[in-house]
């Protein structure tokens, strides 16, 4: 009996139940079909674009190659082909981050969220869609301007005045982003629940691993040693990511007893788990966006008639183009700082102090309400420090590897992001998807208790 029970907890044994349950099987097939559609659409190029000029730019070394290598990795290879999905779903994520930051700053928005959380979430989703459209249009303009700078003005086969991209290109790229968001919503609704956008990003990153590995092995004398190093680095990174992501601080909580007839049960001891890394991947994405903004802005002034503006623009591109030590140092501190900021924003929105007070629970030795919230905030900030430092090291891991092993790292830091920032997304999505499927299995009776015979 004990052997059967231990065997039933084996995750691999549950894989066969994914196919036995018709509902779960259909959801997995629908998710796979929608991801296939997304990857097929990723090969559709934007009209009026000289793809040969883009291919030549990616084959050259330099700051532009490094910057676009990062964008190409996170977009699943759609930037290198200038696909209609070149921006992926990141404008939607950016809009979501902006609204999450604005809610605690603007009192009417915070009051709306506190009054009716369900209606507040619907309001957030609606305005995130509205905000994603202008964000996608602005990102399309900035991306094409960057291509024009590094690949040349002949990147577009047809342009308007002032070298601005045509309205057709901007509209096409914006529509591609909204199409990707729509596919993600379909996956969340009809496929794996609440995992649509995450799976879209996951599919893009995973699809680039074979190509990145192939480029890593090209023109290298010690190919076997490089491959072994890459695998070891990836395994170590995955282990550290899982270890930190699963880290919890369990704060003791006393829950009130329940009345059963004329008798009152004893208070129940419980714990409140606080995550070491509550911010997830968001600080890396936001820090990258902030640091690349000066380089994007500088490209408008590189050819300025003012020598001062031209020199400042050149300095910004040199130091914020993703290929300098200054950029990576600032990136580390930006990720660490934003991890604290974003964790504070999320933690204040959850309002554990009032929620525990409403349920009658109390942290031992701490007054209920605001005092409990302040105590939990102090605890959360202390345990966030190792999580923030971890994210900072993950963010600059390509730079560290390139500095320690110039032959392996070379100038292509984008490859090494597969084993750091990219793996952080991949591991997180796999973990969340597994837990989601496990919850679906238990909901339908395929849990460990019922599997024992």
Q: In which region does residue 336 sit, left (phi positive, over 0), alpha (psi from -120 to 50) or beta (all else)?
A: alpha
Per-residue model confidence (pLDDT) at position 321: 62
Longest dimension (CA), the chain: 87
Residue 197 above 80 pLDDT?
yes
What architecture (CATH level 2) is domain 1-207+422-453?
Orthogonal Bundle (1.10)
Determine the Cα–Cα distance for residues 355 and 351; give it in Å rounded to an integer: 6
* C-beta atoms surrounding 170 within 10 Å: 19
Whether the CB-CB separation of 257 and 267 falls below 8 Å is answered with yes
pLDDT of res. 181: 92
| Helix extents (H) in 191-261 | 196-207, 209-216, 223-245
pLDDT given for residue 222 in this prediction: 52
Q: Across 292-345, where does the E strand assignment appear? A: none
pLDDT of 36 reads: 92
Answer whether residue 316 shows pLDDT above 60: yes
Q: Give me the residue spans of the domains in the chain.
A: 1-207+422-453, 220-258+267-419
- Mean pLDDT for 268-274 is 86
Domain 220-258+267-419 has CATH 1.10.390.10: no
**Least confident among 111-120, 158-167, 332-341:** 158-167
Q: Is 220-258+267-419 in the same CATH topology as 1-207+422-453?
A: yes
Residue 194 phi/psi, 5° resolution?
Answer: 60, 25
Determine the pLDDT at residue 32.
92
Q: Is the pLDDT of residue 375 over 80?
A: yes
Residue-level pLDDT at 183: 92
Q: Would you say residue 10 has pLDDT above 60?
A: no
pLDDT band at 414 (very low <50, low <70, confident <90, very high): very low
In the predicted model, is pLDDT for residue 5 greater than 60? no
Reference 151, options 72, 69, 53; nearest CA is 53
Mean pLDDT highest for which of 118-127, 149-158, 406-415?
A: 118-127
Q: What's the pLDDT at 176?
A: 92
DSSP letters spanning 5-41: HHHHT-GGGGHHHHHHSHHHHHHHHHHHHHHHHHHHH
Question: Could you read off the pLDDT of 278-310 as tens digits, one per residue?
Answer: 887 778 777 777 777 676 667 667 666 777 777
């Amino acid at each position: 009996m004990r052997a059967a029970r231990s065997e039933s907890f084996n995750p691999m044994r549950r894989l066969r139940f994914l196919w036995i349950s018709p509902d779960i099987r259909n959801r997995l097939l629908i998710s796979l079909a929608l991801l296939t559609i997304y990857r097929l659409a990723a090969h559709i190029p934007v009209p009026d674009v000289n793809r040969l000029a883009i291919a030549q730019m990616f084959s050259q070394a330099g700051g532009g190659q490094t910057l676009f290598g990062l964008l190409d990795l996170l977009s699943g290879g759609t930037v290198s082909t200038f696909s209609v999905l070149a921006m992926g779903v990141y404008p939607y994520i950016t809009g979501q981050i902006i609204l999450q930051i604005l809610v605690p700053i603007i009192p009417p928005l915070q009051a709306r969220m506190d009054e009716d959380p369900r209606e507040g979430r619907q309001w957030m989703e609606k305005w995130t869609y509205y905000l994603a459209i202008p964000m996608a249009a602005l990102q399309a303009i900035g991306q094409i301007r960057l291509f024009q700078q590094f690949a040349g003005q002949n990147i577009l086969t047809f342009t308007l005045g002032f070298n601005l991209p045509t309205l057709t290109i901007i509209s096409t790229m914006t529509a591609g982003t909204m199409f990707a968001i729509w596919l993600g919503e379909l996956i969340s609704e009809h496929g794996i629940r609440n995992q649509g956008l995450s799976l879209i990003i996951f599919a893009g990153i995973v699809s680039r691993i074979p190509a990145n590995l192939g480029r890593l092995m090209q023109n290298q004398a010690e190919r076997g040693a490089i491959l072994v190093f890459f695998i070891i680095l990836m395994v170590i990174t995955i282990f550290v990511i899982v270890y930190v992501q699963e880290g919890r601080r369990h704060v003791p909580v006393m829950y009130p007893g329940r009345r059963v007839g004329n008798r009152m049960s004893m208070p129940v001891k419980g714990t409140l788990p606080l995550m070491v890394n509550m911010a997830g991947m968001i600080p890396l994405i936001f820090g990258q966006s902030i640091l690349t903004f000066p380089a994007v802005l500088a490209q408008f002034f590189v050819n300025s008639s003012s020598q001062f503006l031209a020199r400042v623009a050149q300095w910004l591109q040199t130091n914020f183009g993703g290929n300098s030590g200054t950029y990576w140092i600032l990136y580390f501190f930006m990720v660490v700082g934003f991890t604290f900021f974003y964790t504070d924003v999320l933690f204040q929105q959850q309002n554990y102090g009032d929620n525990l007070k409403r349920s009658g629970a109390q942290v031992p030795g701490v007054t209920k309400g605001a005092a409990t919230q302040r105590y939990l905030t102090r605890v959360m900030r202390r345990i966030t420090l190792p999580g923030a430092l971890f994210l900072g090291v993950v963010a600059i891991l390509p730079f560290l590897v390139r500095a320690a092993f110039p032959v392996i790292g070379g100038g292509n830091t984008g490859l090494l992001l597969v084993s750091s920032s990219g793996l952080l997304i991949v591991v997180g999505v796999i973990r969340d998807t597994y837990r989601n499927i496990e919850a679906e299995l238990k909901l339908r009776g395929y849990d460990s208790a019922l599997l024992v015979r």
